[in-house]
Every structure is written in C-alpha cells, then in structure tokens.
Structure 1
C-alpha cells in the first residue's frame, strides 16, 4: 500500500484541452495512478442530480491521482496542478486530506445513479483508442448520439484511452432500443477507424 495519495480535480472548456494535459504529465515526469475523464454530458448528469457545484459550461473534467511517499505525492500533485492550470483547467481543487479526496471522487461515483434519469436501459461499451484520439472519439460518439437520437454519456480512463460509452434509452421503447443498438455498432466502427479496439475491459 502506498504511504500517501493525492487527487487533483479540474474542469475544462473542451475535451481536447483536458486530454492534452495527459501527454504533459509524461513530459513533466509524473506517472499518475489514475486519470479519469468525464465529458460534458457526464458533468451535466451528475450536476443536475447531486449539485456538486461544477461549472455549467464545462466540456470535460479530469480527476488525477498520484501515490507514493508523502514527499513524492506532495511534489507530484503540485506538478499535476500546474499542468492542469497551464492546460486551461479551471475550478482546480487539490485534495489534502483523505476526506477531501473522497469528496472529489464522489463525482465519479455519482455517475451511474445520475444516468438513470436518462433511461431505464443503459448500453454500456468500453472502447479503447490511442490516447491522442480520445477527443476525436468523444466528438464522433456525440455526433452518433445526435444521429440516432439517443442520449450518450462518455467517461473513462484518459491515461490509456479506455472510454466507457453509455447510450441511454427506455427499455420498453423498441424503436429507441433499436436506435441505441445501431449507435453502439457505429461506435465500434469509429473506434476501429481511430486505431483502437471495441473492448478494453468487458471482454468480447
């Protein structure tokens, strides 16, 4: 078990800004143990249900965790904070205590219950693309959602390009379910086009 952990949270105007920071961590010689990203729809979902105080115009949110000895995490978390700030992040919060850290991660934990208001059926896939292609993946999945008139939420592991794509619909609405399944198939096609694969964690 690591001696200490630190989490930093930041919101961004765009997904591209958020994901650009992930590359900068490597340049800054920081290796986070977790880099979670939420898209605009995910932010709006948790905010509407739980009122975390997240910016209404945020296009993405990053949760970045580091671990190690106390001096190591202090140094690394300060670097992470600076990278996020330089990359356009705002409303930055760097947790100091375990309680503060838990509160930051509450946003991520709130996602599943928050999404229930958008449908009784969730088609959840976990596509993987190269890290640099995550913004394009999210943009194209959002377009797929519009094309098939299906609400979609994207979140996942920005550090390795593993994104959970969630298409929401009403279980009893056969036409809505059909559109959602078509949206999933279109998403798989996009993931492969972007040099990725259709499953990173769930198996096939």
Structure 2
C-alpha cells in the first residue's frame, strides 16, 4: 500500500460485528468511523499518511483489552497512538485497521515523593508529569524536544530521551514497571515498585522501545529524580565542526558529567539565526550548549572544569549564560531548530544516528565527505554527550536526480555509522522509515529470535504490523 499525504486508497469497511464490539468497549462518543474524522489519525511527524478504518479512544486498561480482543477475533490490525510526534511512521496504519488513541488516558494515578516514583497513564504529556513532579521537588529525566506535547506512552514506545540522557539516562533507565495488554488481549504487569528487583526476565526494558508491537502500555511506574539545586549553562563556539567534536570527547573524558551537551554545526547555526533570540556568532563552524547541574556549593568550580575541557584547539569562545533570559533563549533556539529546518527544507531526511562519543569527530568528518561526494547539504545537531547526532539531509522532493543522490548518501551515512560501531537510531525508533535498514545492524540470529519473541506476545500479528523489524525471511538490507 502506498503512503502519501493525499488520495488515500479505498479500504473495505470493518466487519459490523467488530464495529459493534468496539462501540460496546468504548462507547459511541469514543469511536470514529467517518472518513473526515479518521483522517487526522492516519499520520505522524514523518509526513507519511494512510487512513485507518476506525479510530477508538480508550480511558482505562479494560477498554484497551476489549479493543485488542475484538480486533484479534477479526484479525484486524490495531495501532496504538499518542499525539503523533514520532518521525518514523511508527503510528501510520499502512495496512489499515483500528487506530487506538491513548491521548484520553491522561491521568497521573499516583505521585509518591517518599519512594521517588509516579504511576501514570500513557496519555499524560511529558510536560504535565514534569510540572506535577516539580511541585514536589522532583523530575522525570527523559525530556524530548517535543516535551510540551508528546506523551509518556510515546516516550516509552520509542525510548525517547532528549538532552538530559547524557547524565540521567533514557526511559529504560527511568522506568520501574509497566502494565500492558498483549496481542492476545491478556494483561501483563512487569517490573517492581522498588529500585531493585531481579525476579524473572526484564520484560519492562523489552517493552520500552518496541513501538507497540509487543504490547500496548496502559500504565507506567516511573522513577523520579530530585531536582538539582542549581544549574550553569555555557555556550562554546568553535571555528570548525571537527574542533567542536574534539571538544565533546574532552568534556566527556573528565569527571564532571554535564546534564546536557548539545551540538550544532555551522550550517545549523546559520539556518536558525533569524529564528533565535540568543546571540549566535557569525562564521562559527560549530557550537556546543553545555549545562551542568547539582548542589549549589561547588557548582561554579564544576562548571569551570567543564569549561576548561571545552577550551582547546579551534575554540573561539566559552561563555556563561548570565541570566535566566539568556538560558531560556539558548534552549529555545535548540528546540526551534528541527521545525525551522523542516520549514526551510520540507523534504529533509532526518536520521538520529548514534556513535561512541570518541567517534564523533570521525562521524562529523565522514558526513562532510558524504555531503560533498553526493552533492547533498547535510545539517547536523543533537545530543553530543552520548553520541546521538541528528543528521539532516536537505533535499528538493521535485528533483529526481537529487532524491536519487540522497538515497545513495543515506546509504553511505548508515555504513559510516555502523563502521564506527554505532547504531542507526538513537531515540526516534524504526517505524516504517528505517525498517529496510534494520538487518544491516542486526545479525540473522538476533532477528530470528526477535521475531519469535514478537510472536509470543502477539501470535496473530495484529499489533502494529509491519513496523520495526523486516520480514522474517528478509535478513539482508
């Protein structure tokens, strides 16, 4: 089935018996069947689109079970969805079926500061959780750029982290347990309410990042972290991308771990300049945004240790953000970068690759060569502290020759990343977009085992089919 932004293919209606069971499960007001009502739930931020045959909204776990059981009985795909901020097409119903929206499961069920945990439904936004936890002096470390809008369920489905992962880890490191509904319609509870627990296999970490292909998460027990007393934010400017990349390695090799270490190349700086309230230097080849947090006592000394590591060959300046407004402007600039690039280049190809930190200089130099060899403009930025770089290929979709060159360039990007012992996705997931490249990273035995695991959770293949893994018989890219 072709994916597009227009002219959707005609789909047969769902069986009347299934529609009746869905209506019985969630109520008339929580079931959409008209084409115009279903249309907004057929796409995500990948700009791929395919209309679902129905949309249902759940508000509690038992409804999710009923929906999955009904879909299983009729062998109809069910695709769980939050707010659609993903960039890989993981929530696009390319095979039709029922989109199960979890956006109305938006309650914080428990907030327990004494035990440093929160229990939430998947439709709670990241920002809503941060605000609630913050009132008790805590936060949940994962902080994607889309935090104000994205949901906890989506964060867990993709293992999406954000800048703070360099110090505080990803959702896998900050989730204690889950409640999920498998493809059998069975209720699965994983994990613990404690910080230790080794009974059985770690199904919690298995479900996180599985993009709704193993189970639909309906509750999560999240580990909270005390808010730091204070922060220091630094801006370091370099004459070249290579100099900035070398600085990242120096910073991560010294004892003070930044809570954020963000990278922008020279092209990103120039493209974002007129969107930014912060002062961005002219002619800079690279920029680092560095944040250090912790106890107020000794924080200035810690920030100076990081600043000293940031200085070196090719460093033009290292400056401390002096006011709250300066800090806010810097972070607003970073968060505006991806949407600004989409405006400049509507067909940008965005890949969030990840390499060992020490390999960042080699990655940056390799990307420069690939861009030159294929005639493609490449803009790079991202979470340099853990090697997670967003590589953007800016292309004209109406230029067939350029699109062909972009495909070859992207193929080279993945070869470069894997040759540096990296991974083709750091936090955006696989979905539809990266599925053809998965076998290049994973061996045949691993893929075979993953398909077996998937079948155990979802024997009829109804949970988000066609996402994440290539077909079982296709183990070569």
Provide the TM-score with structure 2 as the length reference. 0.40
C-alpha separation between the residues in 1 aligned to 2:279 and 2:322?
Answer: 19
User: Which of 5, 28, 36 is equivalent to 2:262?
Assistant: 36
User: Quick check: 130-139 or 175-184, which moved more?
Assistant: 175-184
Compared CA separation, residues 51 and 171, structure 1 to 2 (3 A): farther
User: Displacement, 1:142?
Assistant: 1.9
For 2:311, what is the secondary structure of its paired residue?
A: helix
Tell me how far apart the structure 1 counterparts of residues 276 and 322 of structure 2 sit (CA, whole Å).
23
- Using the alignment, how far apart are the partners of 1:60 and 1:126 within structure 2? 18
Structure 1 residues 70 and 202: CA distance shift in structure 2, 3 A: same
When the two structures are aligned, how many residues end up with a matched partner?
Answer: 204
Mean CA deviation greater in 77-86 or 157-166:
77-86
Residue 124 of structure 1 corresponds to 350
Q: Match of 1:9?
A: 235
Q: Show the counterpart of 1:201.
A: 427
3-state DSSP class of the match of 2:410? helix
For residues 418 and 322 of structure 2, what CA distance do their matches in structure 1 show? 40
Q: Following the alignment from structure 1 to structure 2, what is the Cα–Cα distance between the partners of residues 47 and 175? A: 30
| 8 Å Cα contact 2:229-2:295 kept in structure 1 | yes
Asked if the contact 2:251–2:310 (Cα under 8 Å) also holds between the matched residues in 1, the reply is no
| 13-22 or 27-36, larger mean C-alpha shift | 13-22
8 Å Cα contact 1:14-1:59 kept in structure 2: yes
Measured in 2, the distance between the counterparts of 1:66 and 1:149 equals: 38
User: How far off is 1:23 after superposition?
Assistant: 3.5
Provide the residue aligned with 2:384 in structure 1.
158
Aligned to 2:340: 114
Aligned-pair CA distance for 1:193: 1.2
Q: Pick which of 168-177 and 38-47 moved more.
A: 168-177
Bigger proportion of residues as helix: 1
1:79 equivalenced with 2:310 (yes/no) = no
**Residue 187 in structure 1 maps to residue 382 in structure 2:** no
Cα distance, 1:41 vs structure 2 = 1.4
Deviates more, 1:41-50 or 1:159-168: 41-50
Whole-angstrom CA distance in 1 between matches of 2:364 and 2:310? 20
Distance 1:148 1:24, change over 3 A: closer
CA drift of 1:161 comes to 1.0
The offset of 1:189, in angstroms, is: 0.6
Tell me the equivalent position of 1:69.
Answer: 295
* Alignment correspondent of 2:251: 25
Query: Which of 1 and 2 has higher RCO (CA within 8 Å, sep 6+)?
Result: 1
Using the TM superposition, give the Cα deviation of residue 120 of structure 1 relative to its aligned residue in structure 2, in angstroms.
1.6
Moved over 6 A (4+): none
Conservation of the 8 A alpha-carbon contact between 1:127 and 1:164? yes
> What SS does structure 2 have at the residue aligned with 1:121?
coil
Q: Is the 8 A contact 1:119 1:171 kept in 2?
A: no
Q: Which structure features the higher share of strand residues? A: 1
Q: What is the CA–CA distance in structure 2 between the aligned matches of 1:111 and 1:120, rounded to whole Å?
A: 14
In the alignment, the residues of structure 2 paired with residue 8 and residue 147 of structure 1 have an alpha-carbon distance, to the nearest angstrom, of 35
Instruction: Please give the TM-score of this superposition, normalised by the length of structure 1.
Output: 0.87
C-alpha displacement at 1:118, in angstroms? Answer: 4.2
1:135 aligns with 361
Post-superposition offset of 1:94: 0.6
Deviations 1:101-146 (A, max 9, x none): 1122233123224324642211101111111111221121122122
CA RMSD in angstroms, aligned pairs only = 2.2
1:73 deviates by 2.6
1:145 and 2:371 correspond: yes
Q: Helix, strand or coil: the match of 1:166?
A: strand
Structure with the greater alpha carbon radius of gyration: 2
Q: Which runs of 5+ in 2 are unaligned?
A: 1-226, 431-477
Instruction: Out of 54-63 and 162-171, give the one that drifted further.
Output: 54-63
Provide the residue aligned with 2:319 in structure 1.
Answer: 93
